[in-house]
Homo-oligomer: A and B are copies of this chain.
Amino acid sequence: MLTSKEKIIIAALNQFSRKGLFATRIQDIATEAGISQGLLYRYYKSKNEIYVDLIEDALDKMNEAVEGIASLNCGGREKLLNSIEGMYKTIEESDRYRQTSSLIAQAMGSEAIPQEAKDALKNKRDLPYQMFSKIIVQGQKEGTIIEGDSYDLAVLFWSTLNGLTIFRNTRDEKRPLPDKRFIANIFLKEKI
């Protein structure tokens, strides 16, 4: 059985991810959580507070996942392939990831979000690029990944996966994503 607070979190994530902070009413969250509007204020001081909590949590989860892959004890090429594999699985199967990625995408695209949410984004959004840049450098040293500025390649990697995530999130028909090898071959010296 879920506590009221847990029900609020789950409902708020779903509502915010679908409609954004400003189009979501407190009433929407309360209704989906199956509680009254008043009760919500036992657990949170304001709508913004829920939102900031969710944004911080989403960014932390994202960074933990990336750190998990980067800290594997294997070659850069394997880390790359592993990242693509993991991201594809997550994008295609996880409803929770659809929600958190939509939440972050919307937050990044709006200047009107609360200052605390902006701060969290600013502090936490760069880690994936840095981690992946290190993976690229490792692979370049090992001779398995193409030459080029490692941060540029990291930007390209995440931009491509973000773009595919958004494409997937915004279509009803769940068409399979393009073959993983197309992504891998952007970076690999020896194509697969």
Q: Is the interface of A mostly helix, strand, loop or mixed?
A: helix
Q: Closest CB of chain B to A129's CB: distance in Å?
A: 9
The answer for the CA separation of A170 and B170 in the assembled complex, in Å, is 20
Interface string of A105-143 (1 = CB under 8 A from B): 110111110000000000000000000000000000000
The answer for the CA separation of A84 and B24 in the assembled complex, in Å, is 38
Whether A182 and B158, one on each chain, are in contact in the complex, defined by CB atoms closer than 8 angstroms, is no
In the complex, which residues 153-181 of chain A have their Cβ closer than 8 Å to any Cβ of chain B?
153, 155-156, 158-164, 166-167, 169-170, 175, 177-179
Instruction: Identify which of B19, B112, B166 contacts A111 (C-beta below 8 A).
Output: B19
The chain B residue with its CB closest to the CB of A102 is B109
Whether B186 and A182, one on each chain, are in contact in the complex, defined by CB atoms closer than 8 angstroms, is yes
The answer for the CA separation of A22 and B182 in the assembled complex, in Å, is 38
The answer for the CA separation of A164 and B186 in the assembled complex, in Å, is 15
For residue A111, which residues in chain B have a CB less than 8 angstroms away from its CB?
18-19
The chain B residue with its CB closest to the CB of A159 is B163
The chain B residue with its CB closest to the CB of A23 is B112
Q: Does A93 contact B (CB under 8 A)?
A: no
Instruction: Identify which of B21, B109, B182 contacts A105 (C-beta below 8 A).
Output: B109
Whether B18 and A110, one on each chain, are in contact in the complex, defined by CB atoms closer than 8 angstroms, is yes
The 7 A-B pairs at the shortest CB distance, nearest first, are namely A163-B163, A159-B163, A23-B112, A22-B22, A19-B112, A152-B178, A156-B178
